[in-house]
Amino acid sequence: MSSRRLFISSILSCLLFGLFAPAQESGPIFDYDSLFHPVVGKKGMVTSQEVLASQVGLDVLKQGGNAVDAAVAVGYALAVTLPKAGNLGGGGFMLVYLAGENKTVAINFREMAPAGAHRDMYLDENGEVDKNKARFSYHSVGVPGTVAGMSYALDKYGTMSLKKLLKPAAALARKGILVTYSLSADITRVRKRFEKCDATRAIFLRPDGTPWQPGEILVQKDLAWSLKQIARKGPDAFYKGKIGQRLAADMAEHGGLINMQDLAAYRVTESEPVWGEYRGHKIASMPPPSSGGVHVIQMLNILEGFPVAEMGHNSAAGLHLLAETMKPAYADRSKYLGDPDFYDVPVSGLISKDYADELRKKISQETARPSTDIGPADPLPYESTETTHYSVVDQYGNAVAVTYTLNFSFGTSLVAAGTGILLNNEMDDFSSKPGSPNAFGLLGGEANAIQPGKRPLSSMTPTMVFKDGKPMLITGSPGGSTIITAVLQIILNVVDHKMNIAEAACTPRMHHQWLPDKLRLEKGISVDTLRLLESMGHKVERTDTMGSTQSILLKDGKMFGASDPRRPGAGAAAW
Ligand code: GLY
């Protein structure tokens, strides 16, 4: 089938089986009082930021694969169809709910600092952070974890062969994908960076050096080669074999740090998720080196003591309360969060209800506390923005939530020559210098200082909410520092404000991260509300959209999916 026909038929099947999936049974599936409606399914669902990849996952589910099989196929497909965030050259986190064992596990495939990394590696001769070196150089790259993470999950919890699951991605890379308006715009946005790297330019810019245009076909021949290598040899192709050799050679040629020893030393870890409770629901989310799970739970604990539903969704009082809740959480993040293999993160203290009680007492319902009055508190003795998230649920009751990333849109914008693989700039998520914010304005200290083998602190927050022991909500989002608050608001919108999952995704969001002391509001929150917030002392700022949540809600034996409308091309595929 030609690429164009493949694309069109995928879209058609999404329309037939996914985006407008008909109700399977009689009874009120849709509530006509609702402004927005989710996609409905019964046997399987994938929500992702790129609809072709959602369809790849759904096809796996229809072939009898489980949610982990589908998640692996989607992870590789997104590397081709959503190159700004889907990846082989980055890393991330996967939460897996195993229905048979009624167990949830957290898989960590975050990048690791190479052996040659050191604490002051981004400081210039004046002791200032060299932002270009930290973000756009061969020194910005952490040892990628995605290929290892996908295989770890598949070997332990999947049922299908890697070879089979890689096929759709390899075909999309080899035959090409239709360049959409959004892909063309994404490329245009970073064109200047692409021009600096021959390997990147050769793929993502036309032969005359201009960005690919909507309607053209983007073929990724080298990426197809890499996918074929992985299909043949498994993750060893990347960490010990030909892909690794090409990557290491490219690094050596450009003075980068990652060598074959670094690749061979890469390790995936598995742990318990971090668990919380909120109004009769159990919350499972990603533990450190993500800060996401800890702070979502910390903020829910604080909010549990307030009548959130009564205060009204996006009312001035409700937004004020959220901002005051977010500030101490992000202040704590700056001090206490880092890679637990290197730093003793006080997780149980931060997520304890007693600590939340203390923090809650400091919140005034009338006035905003200036961020300068707030510092990291003392939880002891209790213990690009272009990331992307996808959620999967299968016919067996299993669920998977994956958030993975290159950090910035297209990462460093450097492709390792001969591999087609874009390299991450995750090293910028470390704290290069205490008090110096990273690209998301986030501060950090000792806990997140650079060390060889350490993983940079993340905000990625793949999350599951359980009701009566069963998964009820699978969610997550990209958005750098705003990931944590986007996930928080999805949970509040569902649990407190009783929204359906499409409404929960569509409604305007807010964000506060302590520093800078700004209450960020999306469009759609009224000017009256904004003025009330200012009168309470908030420094309000209108922002671009925040997040791109990809969620599935399980209710009444059905699956309700919503791909955030904030980013074009996202879509739920349902069966
Ligand atoms: N690179 C964004 C994050 O991991 O939070």
Shortest CA distance to 183 belongs to which of 196, 172, 171?
172
Q: What is the pLDDT of residue 8?
A: 38
Q: Whose CA is nearest to atom 1 of ligand 1?
A: 407
Residue 19 has pLDDT above 90, yes or no: no
- Tokens coding 170: 């390899």
Tell me how far the alpha carbon of residue 286 lies from the centroid of ligand 1, in angstroms.
13
Tokens 């996908």 correspond to what residue? 150
Query: Strand pairing of 519-521 and 540-542?
Result: parallel
Which tens digits make up the pLDDT trace of 549-561?
Answer: 999 999 999 999 9
pLDDT score for 29 = 76
**Rounded distance between C-alpha atoms, residue 490 and residue 391, angstroms:** 14
Is any ligand 1 atom within 6 A of the Cβ of residue 387? yes
CA 438 – CA 426 distance, rounded (Å): 11
Q: How confident is the model at residue 385 (pLDDT cuts 50, 70, 90)?
A: low
What integer is the mean pLDDT of 364-390? 80
Q: Is the peptide bond before 289 cis (omega within 30 degrees of 0)?
A: yes
The pLDDT > 90 percentage for the chain reads 89
Atom of ligand 1 nearest to the CA of 460: 5
Residues in the chain: 575
Q: What is the DSSP letter of 554?
A: E
* Contact between 349 and 382 (Cβ < 8 Å): yes
Are the CB atoms for 525 and 508 separated by under 8 Å?
A: yes
Report residue 311 as tokens. 């205060």
Q: Which of 110, 140, 410, 459 to mutate to test the pocket of ligand 1 (most atoms within 8 A of CB)?
A: 459
Cα–Cα dist 47/391, whole Å: 5
Are the C-beta atoms of 422 and 83 separated by less than 8 Å?
Answer: yes
CA of 215 to the centre of ligand 1 (A): 31
Residue 562: what pLDDT?
A: 98
**pLDDT, position 16:** 39
CA of 535 relative to ligand 1 center, distance in Å: 34
CB 552 within 8 A of CB 47: yes
User: Torsions phi, psi of 32, nearest 5?
Assistant: -75, 5
Atom of ligand 1 nearest to the CA of 403: 4
Q: Which whole number is the average pLDDT over 361-390?
A: 82
Instruction: Please list, in sequence order, all residues whose beta carbon lies within 8 angstroms of the beta carbon of residue 322, skipping any fewer than 6 positions away.
Output: 303, 485, 488, 489, 510, 512
Mean pLDDT of 423-450: 88
Percentage of the chain beyond pLDDT 70 is 94
Q: Which fold has domain 1-10+39-103+274-416+425-575?
A: Glutamine Phosphoribosylpyrophosphate, subunit 1, domain 1 (3.60.20)
pLDDT at 32 (0 to 100): 81
- How does pLDDT run across 24-83, given as a tens digit for each residue? 444 567 888 888 999 999 999 999 999 999 999 999 999 999 999 999 999 999 999 999
Q: Which residue has the tokens 């070997």?
A: 155
- Active site members: 387
Residue 489 has pLDDT above 90, yes or no: yes
pLDDT-based confidence at 5, cuts 50/70/90?
Answer: very low
Higher pLDDT, 31 or 461: 461
Ligand 1 pocket check for 405: Cβ under 6 Å:
yes
Give Cα separations from 119 to 186, 258, 428, 448 (angstroms): 33, 16, 12, 10
Q: What angle do CA 246, 247, 253 make, to 5 degrees?
A: 90
CB of 482 closer than 6 A to ligand 1?
no
pLDDT tens, position by position, 463-472: 999 999 999 9
pLDDT tens-digit map of 209-232: 999 999 999 999 999 999 999 999
Which pLDDT does position 25 carry in this prediction?
Answer: 45
* Predicted local confidence at residue 28, as pLDDT: 67
Higher pLDDT, 177 or 386: 177
**Residue 357 near residue 304, CB atoms below 8 Å:** no
- Secondary structure of residue 44 in the 3-state scheme: coil
pLDDT for 384 equals 54
Cis before 434 (ω within 30): no
Pair of tokens at residue 147: 């290929």
Distance CA 475, CA 561 (A): 10
Q: Quick count: other Cβ atoms within 10 Å of Cβ 163?
A: 13
Domain ranges of the chain: 1-10+39-103+274-416+425-575
Instruction: Write the DSSP assignment of 418-475 as a string of letters.
Output: TTTEEPP-GGGGSBSSTT---TTS----GGGB--TT----B----EEEEETTEEEEEE
Cα(92) to ligand 1 centroid in Å equals 8
Q: For ligand 1, is residue 480 a contact (CB within 6 Å)? A: yes
